[in-house]
A and B are shown apart, each in its own frame.
Chain A
Amino acid sequence: MAVNPFTMTVLVLIYLAATLVIGYLGYKKTKSSEDYLVAGRCSHPVLIALSYGATFISTSAIIGFGGQAANLGMGLIWLTVLNIGIGILLAFIMFGKKTREIGHRLSAVTFPDLMCKIYKSPMLQYISGFIIVISMPLYTAAILIGGARFIQPTLNISYEGSLILFAVITAIYVVFGGLIAVMYTDAFQGTIMFIGMTVLLVLSYIAVGGITAGNTALTNMANLVPKALADQGMTGWTTMPSLGSPIWFTLVTTIVLGVGIGVLAQPQLVVRFMTAKDNKSLNRAILIGGPFILMMTGVAFTVGALTNVYFFQTSGQLAITAAGGNVDAIMPLFINQAMPDIFVVVFLLTLLAAAMSTLSALYHAMGTALVCDLWGRGRECALSLRHHQYGIIVMMVLSTLLAYLLPISIIARATAMFMGLCAAAFLPAFAVGVYAKVPVTKAALYSMISGAVIWFAWTAFIHVAESKPLGLCQAIFGKASLLPLPWSVVDPIVIALPISMIVMVVMQLQYSKKQPAAPAPAA
Chain B
Amino acid sequence: MLLGIPDPQILIGYGLAVGLALACIVYGYLYWNEEEKTNGS
| Interface hub of B25, B27, B33, B41 (most chain A Cβ within 10 A) | B41
Q: How far is the CB of B11 from chain A (nearest CB, A)?
A: 9
Report if A238-B7 is in contact (Cβ < 8 Å); known contacts: A284-B32, A286-B28. yes
For B5, list chain A residues within 8 Å (CB).
Answer: 74, 215, 219, 238
Does A477 reach chain B (CB closer than 8 Å)?
Answer: no
Q: How far is the CB of A68 from chain B (nearest CB, A)?
A: 15
Report if A288-B28 is in contact (Cβ < 8 Å); known contacts: A239-B7, A280-B33, A520-B40. yes
Q: How far is the CB of B39 from chain A (nearest CB, A)?
A: 8
| Interface hub of A84, A88, A93, A434 (most chain B Cβ within 10 A) | A84
**Nearest neighbor of A284 in chain B, beta-carbon distance:** B28
Q: Name B41's contact: one of A75, A286, A437 (CB within 8 Å).
A: A437
- Interface size for A (C-beta < 8 A) is 50
Tell me the bound Cα distance from A205 to B40 in angstroms. 49
Report if A212-B3 is in contact (Cβ < 8 Å); known contacts: A118-B41, A284-B32, A434-B41. yes
For A215, list chain B residues within 8 Å (CB).
Answer: 3-5
Tell me the bound Cα distance from A278 to B23 in angstroms. 21
Does A89 reach chain B (CB closer than 8 Å)?
Answer: yes
Within 8 A of B (CB), among A416-453: 433-437, 439
For B3, list chain A residues within 8 Å (CB).
Answer: 211-212, 215
Tell me the bound Cα distance from A105 to B5 in angstroms. 50
User: Are B27 and A89 in touch, CB under 8 angstroms?
Assistant: yes
User: Are A84 and B34 in touch, CB under 8 angstroms?
Assistant: no
Does A213 reach chain B (CB closer than 8 Å)?
Answer: yes
For B13, list chain A residues within 8 Å (CB).
Answer: 74-75, 77-78, 80-81
For B23, list chain A residues within 8 Å (CB).
Answer: 89, 290
User: Are A287 and B10 in touch, CB under 8 angstroms?
Assistant: no
User: Are A101 and B20 in touch, CB under 8 angstroms?
Assistant: no
For A434, list chain B residues within 8 Å (CB).
Answer: 41
User: Are A279 and B28 in touch, CB under 8 angstroms?
Assistant: no
For B41, list chain A residues within 8 Å (CB).
Answer: 98, 101-102, 118, 433-437, 439
For B17, list chain A residues within 8 Å (CB).
Answer: 77, 80-81, 84, 294, 298
Q: How far is the CB of A127 from chain B (nearest CB, A)?
A: 21
**Nearest neighbor of A83 in chain B, beta-carbon distance:** B17
User: Are B25 and A218 in touch, CB under 8 angstroms?
Assistant: no
For B24, list chain A residues within 8 Å (CB).
Answer: 84, 88-89, 286-287, 289-291
Q: How far is the CB of B13 from chain A (nearest CB, A)?
A: 4
Report if A286-B27 is in contact (Cβ < 8 Å); known contacts: A219-B1, A240-B7. yes
Within 8 A of B (CB), among A94-125: 98, 101-102, 105, 118
User: Are B14 and A77 in touch, CB under 8 angstroms?
Assistant: yes
Does A378 reach chain B (CB closer than 8 Å)?
Answer: no
Q: Name B10's contact: one of A98, A240, A288 (CB within 8 Å).
A: A240
Tell me the bound Cα distance from A293 to B23 in angstroms. 13
Tell me the bound Cα distance from A267 to B37 in angstroms. 25
For B6, list chain A residues within 8 Å (CB).
Answer: 219, 238-239
Does A216 reach chain B (CB closer than 8 Å)?
Answer: yes
| Interface hub of B5, B24, B25, B34 (most chain A Cβ within 10 A) | B24
For B9, list chain A residues within 8 Å (CB).
Answer: 75, 239-240
For B20, list chain A residues within 8 Å (CB).
Answer: 81, 84-85, 88-89, 290, 294
Does A214 reach chain B (CB closer than 8 Å)?
Answer: yes
For B33, list chain A residues within 8 Å (CB).
Answer: 280
For A77, list chain B residues within 8 Å (CB).
Answer: 10, 13-14, 17
User: Are A279 and B7 in touch, CB under 8 angstroms?
Assistant: no
Q: Name B4's contact: one of A81, A212, A240 (CB within 8 Å).
A: A212
Does A283 reach chain B (CB closer than 8 Å)?
Answer: yes
**Nearest neighbor of A435 in chain B, beta-carbon distance:** B41
For B40, list chain A residues within 8 Å (CB).
Answer: 101-102, 105, 520
User: Are B21 and A287 in touch, CB under 8 angstroms?
Assistant: no
User: Are A218 and B4 in touch, CB under 8 angstroms?
Assistant: yes
Tell me the bound Cα distance from A214 to B29 in angstroms. 35
For B29, list chain A residues within 8 Å (CB).
Answer: 287
User: Are A287 and B25 in touch, CB under 8 angstroms?
Assistant: yes
Q: Name A213's contact: one of B4, B21, B22, B28 (CB within 8 Å).
A: B4
Tell me the bound Cα distance from A89 to B1 in angstroms. 30
Tell me the bound Cα distance from A283 to B32 in angstroms. 6
Q: How far is the CB of B20 from chain A (nearest CB, A)?
A: 4
Tell me the bound Cα distance from A293 to B20 in angstroms. 10
Contact flags (1/0) for A49-90 with B, using CB distance below 8 Å?
Answer: 000000000000000000000000011011011001100110
Tell me the bound Cα distance from A437 to B39 in angstroms. 11
**Nearest neighbor of B26 in chain A, beta-carbon distance:** A287
Sample 28 A-B pairs with CB under 8 A, ordered by A number: A75-B9, A80-B13, A81-B16, A84-B21, A89-B24, A89-B27, A101-B41, A211-B4, A218-B4, A238-B6, A238-B7, A240-B9, A240-B10, A279-B34, A279-B36, A280-B32, A285-B28, A286-B27, A287-B24, A288-B28, A289-B24, A290-B21, A290-B25, A291-B24, A294-B20, A298-B14, A436-B41, A439-B41
With A239-B7, A434-B41 given, name 13 new contacts (CB 8 A).
Answer: A88-B20, A89-B20, A89-B27, A215-B5, A218-B4, A219-B4, A240-B7, A240-B9, A279-B36, A283-B28, A287-B29, A294-B21, A433-B41
